[in-house]
C-alpha cells in the first residue's frame, strides 16, 4: 500500500512539474477585461454579512474594497 501511495505521489509531482503555468493567461485576461472576481467565505472576524444592510463586512472585505478603489 505504501509503495502504491509513494508511486502515485511521485507521478503527481512529475505531472505538476511539466504542466505549463497559466498565471500569465489569467493576468492578461484580468488586464484586458479590467475586472477581477474575488470571493470570500464568511468567517468570523474576517467576513460577515450584516443582517441589517445585507452587505458583507470585515477585514477581508475592507482590503478588497481598498484594492479596487486604487485606480
pLDDT in tens, 7-62: 666 766 666 665 565 667 888 888 899 888 877 676 776 788 889 999 888 888 88
Q: Which residue has the cell 475592507?
A: 62
Q: What is the pTM of this model?
A: 0.42
49 sits in which H/E element: strand 48-49
Domain range for residue 29?
2-69
Closest alpha carbon to 25 in 17, 33, 15: 33
What is the pLDDT, as a whole number, of residue 52? Answer: 94
What is the pLDDT, as a whole number, of residue 10? Answer: 72
Tally the domains of the chain: 1
Helical segments of the chain, H only = 2-18, 23-33, 59-69
Distance CA(35)–CA(62), nearest Å, equals 18
What is the pLDDT, as a whole number, of residue 15? Answer: 61
Amino acid at each position: 500500500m505504501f509503495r502504491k501511495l509513494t508511486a502515485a505521489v511521485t507521478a503527481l509531482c512529475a505531472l505538476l512539474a511539466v504542466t505549463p503555468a497559466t498565471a500569465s493567461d489569467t493576468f492578461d485576461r484580468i488586464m484586458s477585461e479590467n475586472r477581477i472576481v474575488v470571493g470570500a467565505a464568511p468567517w468570523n472576524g474576517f467576513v460577515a454579512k450584516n443582517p441589517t444592510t445585507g452587505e458583507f463586512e470585515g477585514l477581508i472585505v475592507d482590503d478588497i474594497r481598498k484594492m479596487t478603489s486604487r485606480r
